[in-house]
Amino acid sequence: MDIEQIYHEESGRILATLIRLLGDFDLAEEAMQEAFALAVEQWPKQGVPGNPRAWLVSTARNRAVDGLRRRISFEKKQDELQRLIEARSALASQDEAMIDGDPMSDDRLRLIFTCCHPALRVEAQVALTLRTLCGLTTEAIAKAFIAPVPTMAQRIVRAKQKIRDARIPYRVPPMEDLQERLTAVMLVVYLVFNEGYSAASGEALIRRDLCAEGIRLGRLLCELLPKEMEARGLLALMLLHDSRRDTRVTENGEIVLLEEQDRSRWNQESIREGTTLAEATLRTSPGPYSVQAAIAAVHANAARAEDTDWRQIAALYDILRRLQPTPVVELNRAVAVAMAEGPLAGLRLLDEIEAKEELNGYYLLPAARADFLRRLNRWTDSATAYRQALALVSNEAERRFLERRLAEAEGKSGVGPSL
């Protein structure tokens, strides 16, 4: 095993352990870099140690402790000295536990709960998770979120400061809080994935890397909490979405609808893995991610668009809306019902949603109506709805899609482009 591979596979776990031992994010990061630098120097001459991770952790910890001790004796900081003494006494008993394979003792699990603590803003949770658990640089995170580097750096620094100063604990939450806290962790993982997924092709590749990071975090959660079925549902959902990532947009950044995507280019390996996971979650009482994964699995396993089992999808949306009674879920259900029972049934549901006035200003509502009307050959009404959707849409690729559909409707209704 070479050092680069060890860095890739183990640095997240090493950093998490060092944060626990040293009680300080920055100190831990610095110490880990030093230990790897030392490894680059020594291993080629002396050989790779039997347990590289243990070597790196103890080397980093010793360097950090020595550094701290020098600084403390200089500044006479009593509280830091106390922390140092505690860290050292913890070390003796930790050496064995540090190497064992019990996932609950994996420090990355503690770290993920600390990074996704509800006392931090969600944007800070996302940034800190990518920085510490995924090892992305601040520059890369800023680029991925199209934010200025100083803004992102400040966001991460403030989050670390709050963890230290308000003493956000570094541990797996107790049983009674676990579900609530896990929900927050899964949201962060899904946000990371979605940020990459919603990036159109042609945008910086780093944004699409976020999909891989989201899936990596999802796998980590499943590995660390094997009994949490909803974590598997989340992983399944990400894998199934990711399986068709390359077919969602053309090279020019035009959106390709699910029914028009080239299914031969969908990633079958991701579909198989995602489907197996989704099926397993459905045997328990599935949560929202699991149900969404099941919906994605039905789509992914239809050989042709016309083979899609829309009745099953409509039934799954019915379960989902009971778990997550949001207007967006209702809208998606209306689309599924329109496919299963016909556009008229879909229009009736849209009328109900519109009457609640919760989705005013959301472009997908008139866009869905326009599509149902299009399928009923009611071209003039369809064009009107496409115009309403266009007035509300903000994403450039989606705007171009709606414009193409509007042009088609106007052509068929005999009304020339009047906009």
Residues engaged in binding other proteins (CB under 8 A)? 76-79, 117, 119, 165-169, 173, 177
Please state the closest distance from residue 80 (CB atom) to other proteins, in A: 9
Residue number, 1 or 74, with CB nearest to other proteins: 74
Dihedral of alpha carbons 77, 78, 79, 80, sign: positive
Residue number, 78 or 264, with CB nearest to other proteins: 78
Residue number, 177 or 260, with CB nearest to other proteins: 177
Residue with tokens 């239809």: 302
Residue number, 168 or 235, with CB nearest to other proteins: 168
Buried-exposed string 364-376: b where 16+ CB fall within 10 A, e elsewhere: bbbbbbbbbbbee
User: Which residue from 347, 407, 348 is spatially nearest to 371, judged by alpha carbons?
Assistant: 347
Please state the closest distance from residue 94 (CB atom) to other proteins, in A: 20
Please state the closest distance from residue 165 (CB atom) to other proteins, in A: 6
Residue number, 114 or 129, with CB nearest to other proteins: 114
Beta carbons within 10 angstroms of residue 115's beta carbon: 28
Please state the closest distance from residue 14 (CB atom) to other proteins, in A: 24
Rounded CA gap, 81 and 74, in Å?
Answer: 11
Please state the closest distance from residue 92 (CB atom) to other proteins, in A: 22
CB 175 within 8 A of CB 104: no
Residue number, 77 or 311, with CB nearest to other proteins: 77
Please state the closest distance from residue 104 (CB atom) to other proteins, in A: 18
CB 220 within 8 A of CB 271: no
Beta carbons within 10 angstroms of residue 276's beta carbon: 13
User: Which residue from 9, 29, 33 is spatially nearest to 18, judged by alpha carbons?
Assistant: 29
CB 217 within 8 A of CB 135: no
Phi, then psi, of 249 in degrees rounded to 5: -135, 150
